[in-house]
Amino acid sequence: NAGVTQTPKFQVLKTGQSMTLQCAQDMNHEYMSWYRQDPGMGLRLIHYSVGAGITDQGEVPNGYNVSRSTTEDFPLRLLSAAPSQTSVYFCASSYSDREDGYTFGSGTRLTVV
């Protein structure tokens, strides 16, 4: 099925560990974004990409890195996990930068202990 695939679905990390959250889409979307969702705070933009090789920071980029080597993949790296990064992470993609709205993945629930 076409869509946005995120892996893993659940992850527990220890403080200081690093890891990569994977995101892949098969809809040939140029625009991809990472959001984190925390209770009472809605979704906050971490990083986004407007095409392969082009990324930029969102609202809450500290502690995260991204790269976009292909149109399909947009991994999110946690450099040194902190308890404040406990959250649900969503990857989203869209065809156009305005009208289409996003297609979201099903999320990764990350707990940092």
Is the CB of residue 90 less than 8 Å from the CB of residue 37? Answer: yes
Tokens 């040194």, residue? 80
Tell me how many residues contact other proteins (CB under 8 A). 28
Using alpha carbons, list the distances in angstroms from residue 80 to 18, 29, 91: 5, 30, 20
- The residues in 66-105 that bind other proteins, with binding defined as CB under 8 A, are 90, 92, 94, 97-105
The least CB distance from residue 73 to other proteins, in Å, is: 18
Sole binder of other proteins in the list 17, 58, 67, 82 (CB under 8 A): 58
Sole binder of other proteins in the list 45, 52, 79, 82 (CB under 8 A): 45
Give the whole-angstrom CA distance, residue 15 versus residue 70: 30
H or E stretch covering 90: strand 87-94
Q: Quick one: tokens of 104?
A: 């979201």
By CB under 8 A, tell whether 26 contacts other proteins.
no
Residues at the site binding other proteins, with contacts judged by CB under 8 A? 4, 31, 33, 35, 40-45, 48, 50, 56, 58, 90, 92, 94, 97-107
